[in-house]
A and B are shown apart, each in its own frame.
Chain A
Amino acid sequence: MQTYQYDQTNICQPTLAPALATRELEVFYGDKQALFKGSLQFPKHRITALIGASGSGKSTFLRCLNRMNDRVATVKGRILYHDTDINQRQINVYQVRRQISMVFQRPNPFAKSIRENIAFALKQQGLHDRAQLAARVETSLKAAALWDEVKDELDQSALALSGGQQQRLCIARCLALAPDILLLDEPASALDPISTAKIEATLAALRHDYTIIIVTHNMQQASRIADYTAFFHLGHILEYSETEALFTRPQIKVTEDYISGNFG
């Protein structure tokens, strides 16, 4: 069994302007600490992948970024978004989530029509003009690369779509609210390779307008789509660098062994 030094890290500071940054973020589930002093900067309009074994803290970290751990864990440290620390009690979490949107591992469309899945939140916000709603539905579905497949059946149930289509619908549902940052927690792990490829192509296109942070177990996926990659291990972020560098010449032995499948 290989022994590692966990105090050695290699964390880059991207030169591009950050859309979001964490400072010494720590998460506790009761007494158990799940994340140790995570400080990362996410460059604007880039895709960042978070990789690591199960239990490494990557999903925990991701969920902190739009305050989804509030009720399940204690989150310490700062999360800087537009110079504001959004990890403060007085911050309105619903406002945060409108700007920083989450897509989950299993597609979770509403049991409503395709159209209604997109329009629901917009209506809640007070948008009722039919033409404007129709336009937002169309642009969101186009941005998620789903429009051509569903444009003739917008009133069909979203649950009749395939898994890959449902996941792209969930992405479109986020986009309808024009967020700034998209968080994705293994969005393609329940999908076949064809649907996965479509999701990846969608993300690559969205990268021009959104900042994307994606948790993935699929290392080829990280190396294909991400500009930056962070490696998590036992709650520590050990390495963070440009994806090409991380996969061709990682600086930390644990990273090397993990991505080479030479672990444990």
Chain B
Amino acid sequence: MRAVFDRKLNQLRQSFEAMGLAVNQQIQAATQAFIDHDKAAAQLLIDADQATNTAEVNLEQQALELIVLQQPVANDFRTIISILKASSDLERIGDHAVNIARETINVKGNTRLPEVEAKIAVMAGKVRTMLIQMLKADLSLDATAARNCAQQDRLIDQLYQAIRQEIVLANQATPAASLASTSYLLVIRLLERIGDHVVNLAEWIVYSVSGEIVDLT
């Protein structure tokens, strides 16, 4: 019986890892499309999001089935619950990636602010790095790495405030870019939210390893 459980738990873990990789690629593609003004790439991304949503539903079904039929406890239980909760965060990150792609399409063809876009590219890079590091910490069940990685969210929050200020000032100087500015504001807000979800992932890694429910924000 234990062999069956181990096999199914392993499948669940693999599904989660696959979902993590897919969401990571979504973020990469979405931010890249925004920076490159690539409307076609953005549209592809929007169309592909259904796959992430389906992956999350499948993962939830696997996790719930394991809980009901195998009644796991201790480490097994913590693993399943943390995957279940973390998959919701991944799904939300995927949604945010899609929203960034939508802004790429909205802003295309309007007056733009290249200096602001350069800053957004930097922020996007930091968020991406953070997500990649967190997925690595998750693979190796490294709670210390997860906690350290979560610290980077402070920097993301600072960047958000700074860029926001810059957008407001730049918009005053170039009123024609007001449409682009609203998109920029939204995109940095989405990036900031993605950072928060990555912090949530860290909290579930800590729970999975130690059973401790922590608030790392």
Contact = CB atoms under 8 A, between A and B. Distances in A.
Interface of A: 219-220, 223, 247-250, 255-256, 259-262
Nearest to B77: A248
Given A248-B73, A248-B77, A262 B211 contact: no
Contacts of B110: none
A219 B71 CA distance: 10
A223 B2 contact: no
Given A261-B1, A261-B2, A248 B74 contact: yes
Given A248-B211, A249-B210, A249-B211, A260 B74 contact: yes
B58 to A, nearest CB: 25
A247 B71 CA distance: 11
A240 to B, nearest CB: 16
Q: Is the interface of A mostly helix, strand, loop or mixed?
A: helix
Contacts of B77: 247-248
B75 interface: yes
Interface residues of B, number: 13
A259 B71 CA distance: 10
Contact of A259 (B2, B5, B74): B74
A259 B211 CA distance: 16
A220 B1 CA distance: 17
26 contacts: A219-B73, A220-B71, A223-B73, A247-B73, A247-B74, A247-B77, A248-B74, A248-B77, A248-B78, A248-B211, A249-B74, A249-B210, A249-B211, A250-B74, A255-B74, A256-B74, A256-B75, A259-B73, A259-B74, A260-B2, A260-B75, A260-B76, A261-B1, A261-B2, A261-B5, A262-B2
A11 B161 CA distance: 50
B2 A249 contact: no
Contacts of A219: 73
A220 B78 CA distance: 17
Contacts of B72: 260
Please list the 4 inter-chain residue pairs (A to B) with the smallest Cβ-Cβ separation, ordered nearest first: A249-B211, A247-B73, A259-B73, A256-B74
A67 B2 CA distance: 39
A256 B210 CA distance: 13
Contacts of A262: 2
Contacts of A220: 71
A261 B66 CA distance: 14
Nearest to A249: B211
Contacts of B1: 261
Nearest to A245: B211
Interface centre among B73, B77, B210, B211 (most CB of A within 10 A): B73
A247 B72 CA distance: 10
A249 B75 CA distance: 7
Contacts of A259: 73-74
